[in-house]
Structure 1
Amino acid sequence: MAEKSETVSRPGISRGILDISRYKYLLDLLVQKEVRVRYRGSWLGMAWTYVKPLTQFIVFYVAMGIFLGLGRGGGIENYPVYLFAGIIVTNFFNEAFMSTTMSIVGNAGLIKKIYLPRELFPLASLRVSFVHFLPQWLVLMVGSILLGWKADLAGLVVAFLAFVSLSIFAFGMGLFFGSINVFYRDAQNATELVSMIAMWLAPSFYTWHQVASQLPHWGLQIYMANPIAIAVEAFHRGFWWGSTDGSFTFASGWGLSISLSFVISLLMLAIGEFTFRKLEGGFAQEM
């Protein structure tokens, strides 16, 4: 009797981020778990989502808008909206980057017990960051409308595309640093340094014109190639520019800026996923 041939597959092997769509329900559960754990024992709960950006807004508005005069005549028109738009974008990046980096170590118990695509953990953290971003964006919308903002489709499309690119960039960096953080906890210190300088490397409370006045042309091009800076400028285009007299100019054409942002973000995602896949085999043993 002929022997029956069987196909044997190695357990615990996946196609990485290509397999995430098969685990959508589990991803939803991880997001719910992370939200519950984050606010467990907190009497303010989701209100902290507003406290941090509003505190930052007050501090920067007093320091930059009042003391340095950026919010007064001759400064930046409708400076409160300009400032808050930059704050919520950089806050989203910082939270997404830091939480995705810590997601593997933070879920060590699950990783050591069951197998599932490890990318689900950083992706769940990214989605939680979006949950926190949404109410801040609503506050920005209200503030923009109160100051006379008139929406236009081109600005909204630019802001949306830049936000998607920034999310990809944060996810890619989280995969890269998160996988290294399992073996070398110094990676956590690196994420804190990146988060500390992220807001200062984007025109959140100053303008790109001030950067251009201090840097040579090639330096400005490097500065504006930063996906965080592009996303901040895109939100200024989408939710601030419509409330001004329209005389403010942006650093370069939006087609080029958004395309460059996606190229850099997708490259970062490829590097992050490659590093993650190379190291994930040792996650359970190391933790």
Structure 2
Amino acid sequence: MTTIDLSEYDVPGRGRGVLDVIRWRYLLGLLIRKSTALRYRNSALGWTWSYVKPLIQFFIYYWVMGFIFGMARGEVDNFPLYLFAGFIVVTFFNEAFGNATTAVVDNRALVKKIYLPRELFPISAVIGAFVHFLPQLAILIVVALVYGWVPGVAHFGAALLGLLIVALCALGLGLFFAGLNVRFRDAQNFVEVLRQLATWASPVLYTWVLIQEHMPAWFLYVYLMNPITIAVELFHFAFWEPSVGLDGWHGFPPHFELYTGGAIILCLIFLVIGQLTFRRFERTFAQDL
């Protein structure tokens, strides 16, 4: 009787989760290029929308908060730069989180026909959101230079750390809700509510100092447990602080370094729970779709 060594073969329909990204990186690249190419397909303006849409939202927020509520009249120095630095962070999170949530459902044709690591869909959605974030980052850099931005190593490090926190948070939550969304489409509606709250739950339209002055002490601590709040403050330090100097900067919130470490740990917890939940629902993706 001949014995066949099956150790080199994979069990059909099983993978290593997020770790499969390295093995299937070519397919991941194809998915990213596909989403990027289809985003503005048959659009006259094309990639220009990546600049136009966030700028329109920014001017609306700037008009309301800057002029109606007076933030631009001495409340915050260089308020347009402050606002835009935080705004694009939340925009990146919202797009990455939303696209990751619907990534499996949007690719139902592939899911039902062939096997491939399903985690590639949310991951490609987060990376695709980062690609569309780059034009907004370019605008931010130009605006910062106009305001006299002279960054140091610490400012670049803060920006990179902020992006890492946002990407991990969006991917972890995206995996969790992407798995739920295949079976329970209510998950997508719940995510839309979270995305609407994201802008107001972080110091984008206001400063954290207002939270400290007008809310109980315990509320500030809970507020700082939001990873997006930490990422926004890191971006403020990276792009806004060099333009106003130490006199105009309101400083980091109390114990900010501890909350930054906590935000990274929390994002990793999101990633683990999201992966486990995704794998739990992955078994019935084809049937549910």
Mark yes or no: TM-score above 0.5: yes
How far is the alpha carbon of 1:6 from its aligned partner? 3.2
Between the aligned partners of 2:234 and 2:47, the Cα distance in structure 1 is 27
2:214 corresponds in structure 1 to: 214
How far apart are 1:134 and its partner, in Å? 0.6
Whether 1:194 aligns to 2:198 is: no
Counterpart residue number, 1:60: 61
Q: For residue 137 of structure 2, what is the aligned residue in structure 1?
A: 137
* Residues 123-143 of structure 1, C-alpha deviations (whole Å, 9 max, x = no match): 111111001111101110110
Residue 121 of structure 1 corresponds to 121
Match of 2:286 in 1: 284
Q: Following TM superposition, by how much is the alpha carbon of 1:19 offset from its aligned partner in structure 2, in angstroms?
A: 1.4
Q: Does 1:44 align with 2:52?
A: no
The alignment partner of 1:32 has SS state of helix
CA distance 1:119–1:240, change in 2 (3 Å): same
SS for the counterpart of 2:50 is: helix
Q: Deviations over 1:143-171 (max 9, x none)?
A: 01111122021122122112101100100
Q: Deviations over 1:96-133 (max 9, x none)?
A: 00000000000000011111100001111111100111
Contact 1:162 1:261 in 2 (8 A): no
| Rounded Cα–Cα distance in structure 2 between residues aligned with 1:85 and 1:238 | 9
May I ask how many residue pairs the two structures share in their alignment? 285
CA positional deviation for 1:215: 1.9
State the TM-score, normalized to the length of structure 1.
0.96
Is the deviation greater in 257-266 or in 90-99? 257-266
Q: How far, CA to CA, are the matches of 1:245 and 1:18 in structure 2?
A: 43
Aligned pair in 2 of structure 1 residues 148, 253: CA closer, same or farther (>3 Å)?
A: farther
Q: Give the match's secondary structure for 1:170.
A: helix
Could you say what secondary structure the match of 1:252 adopts?
Answer: coil
For 1:24 and 1:121, locate their aligned partners in 2 and report how far apart those are by CA, in whole Å. Answer: 12
Unaligned stretches of 5+ residues in structure 2: none
Deviations 1:49-108 (A, max 9, x none): 1112111111111111111110112x1000000000111000000000000000000000
Shift of 1:254: 4.6
Which whole-Å CA distance do the structure 2 matches of 1:273 and 1:9 have between them? 20
Amino acid at match of 2:269: L
Answer yes or no: is the 8 Å Cα contact 2:148–2:243 preserved in 1: yes
Mapping 1:96-115, distance limit 5 Å: 96-115=96-115
Q: Whole-Å Cα distance in 1 between the matches of residues 212 and 269 of structure 2?
A: 26
Q: CA RMSD for the aligned pairs?
A: 1.2
Contact kept, 8 Å, 2:181 with 2:188, in 1: the verdict is: yes
Match of 1:249 in 2: 251
In the alignment, structure 1 segments of 5+ residues that lack a partner are none
Which one of 253, 258, 264 corresponds to residue 266 of structure 2? 264
Amino acid at match of 1:11: P
